[in-house]
Amino acid sequence: MLTKQKSRPVCKNCGIVPSKSNGISKLGFKKWHKYCVDCSKILYSEKHKYLQHKQMKCEFCGFKAQDKCQMDIVFKDGNKKNKKESNLKTLCLNCASIFHKRLKKGRKSVMNMTVDSDIRIA
């Protein structure tokens, strides 16, 4: 009979992140999945297959992350539906925020439109 809680295992796929919890056993101990949250999304969900492109190094500045939560996947053309590998880029959170800011500057905003002076807006 178990009298001591097992230690939290590491993900069997990536070997880095601790696996996610899977409820409580009959004895009151926590149970664990085989995989972490990201790896389970990659393996079991067609919608999140693009996450397997996520690396531990930033493709722009070369930052090496200690955890996957420090990295982000961006879509080069800004279209989240285009999940081809050629459109994906792994960036650190700092570079990702700069990328998104530059992407927004490239788009024209409704606020930047000029209005003719002879047209009245009521």
Does residue 54 share a domain with residue 38?
no
Domain identity same for 99 and 80 = yes
Domain coverage including residue 67: 50-108
Residue 122 domain-assigned (yes or no): no
Q: Which residue has the tokens 């999140």?
A: 48
pLDDT the model gives residue 119: 54
Whose tokens are 């925020």? That residue is 97
How is residue 64 written in tokens? 């090496």
Six-digit token string for 70: 């420090």
Most confident of 2-6, 12-16, 58-62: 58-62
Q: Can you give the length of the chain in residues?
A: 122
**What percentage of the chain carries pLDDT values higher than 90?**
15
Residue 104 shares a structural domain with residue 55: yes
Provide the pLDDT for residue 114. 52
Indicate whether 37 and 83 sit together in one domain: no
Question: Are residues 31 and 57 both part of a single domain?
Answer: no
pLDDT tier, 111 (very low <50, low <70, confident <90, very high otherwise):
very low
Q: Which residues neighbour 31 within 8 Å (Cβ) at sequence distance 6 or greater? A: 21, 22, 23, 24, 25
- Is position 115 within any domain? no
**Total tally of structural domains belonging to the chain:** 2
55 and 21 together in one domain: no
Q: Which of 14-18, 64-68, 102-106 bottoms out in mean pLDDT, i.e. has the lowest?
A: 14-18
Residue 90 resides in a domain: yes
Instruction: Say yes or no to pLDDT of 92 above 90.
Output: yes
Structure confidence at residue 112 (pLDDT)? 47
The residue-averaged pLDDT of 72-99 equals 90
Contact 24, 9 (CB under 8 A): no
Q: Is residue 62 located within the same domain as residue 40? A: no
117 domain residue, yes or no: no
Say yes or no: 62 and 83 in one domain.
Answer: yes
DSSP string, 29-96: -EEE-SS-HHHHHHHH-GGGGGGGG--SB-TTT-PBPSSGGGEEEEETTS-TT---GGGEEEEEHHHH
Is residue 80 one of the residues assigned to a domain? Answer: yes
60 and 99 share one domain: yes
Q: What is the mean pLDDT of the chain?
A: 79
